[in-house]
Amino acid sequence: MSKYPNLFELEVSKIRDEYLKKKHTNLKDQFKINTLFETILNDEDNTNKISGMKRLNLILQELNFFDKIVGIDNNPLYNRSKQQKIFHKHFIEACLHKIFKNDYLQNVSRLLEEFKFDNIKQTVGITTPRQFGKTTAVALFSAAMLLCMDSFNIAIVSTGIRAARKLCALVFKMLNQAYPGQNNPVKNFNAETLEVYNKFGGVCVLKCYPCNVNIST
């Protein structure tokens, strides 16, 4: 018997080992359970496939759609005033980083030109008299964002429990009026939380919190 190994047997053994290794790898991948970190990365990859411009156009379309909702007497329920449209323009400006996500930098110049912004700010301060439409404007914008963002949570802090619940109920009412019956996107609603199915098949959440506006010294 030769003390040297048979080259043919070595080659067959090598091919067999590679086949078993490949088969094991395929089975491992097939039944692999993703870690939380991998799941988050996959979700982000899927989210990033939706362009920021598509999200923005959907939000603008949805706000215009709310303008056309009519009541029993065929009068518009939420026909936005000129001032409310200005509010929404600046709300959108503040949210552009969230709306465009990874598309933001490549679209900055276009956004500045189209919206006539000098620069893009992420905060908005509104000071007007009462009955100026601030609450309705916030509710309309929240409803549009819940419907048109593929993954989004909104937190609104109001001056008390009553105001927080009233705002959450107003957004709920708007969605019911815009999409009645089987088209209703509301998944779950309680006093201070509203879960909505968005246009991409996911769920967005609105939470309205009460707070104490007193300043302690």
User: Residues 67-85: pLDDT tens digits?
Assistant: 999 888 888 899 999 999 9
Please report, for the chain, the start and end positions of each structural domain, with discontinuous segments joined by +.
51-210
Burial class (CB in 10 A: 0-12, 13-18, 19+), 82: exposed
How many Å apart are CA 199 and CA 148, to the nearest integer? Answer: 6
Which of 13-17, 67-71, 124-128, 194-198 reaches the highest mean pLDDT?
194-198
Tokens 């900055």 — which residue? 108
**Contacts by 187-192, CB closer than 8 A, 24 or more apart:** 191/165, 192/164, 192/165, 192/168
β-pairing verdict for 153-158 and 203-210 = parallel
* CATH 3.40.1790.10 holds for 51-210: no
pTM of the model: 0.74
DSSP-based three-state secondary structure for 107: helix
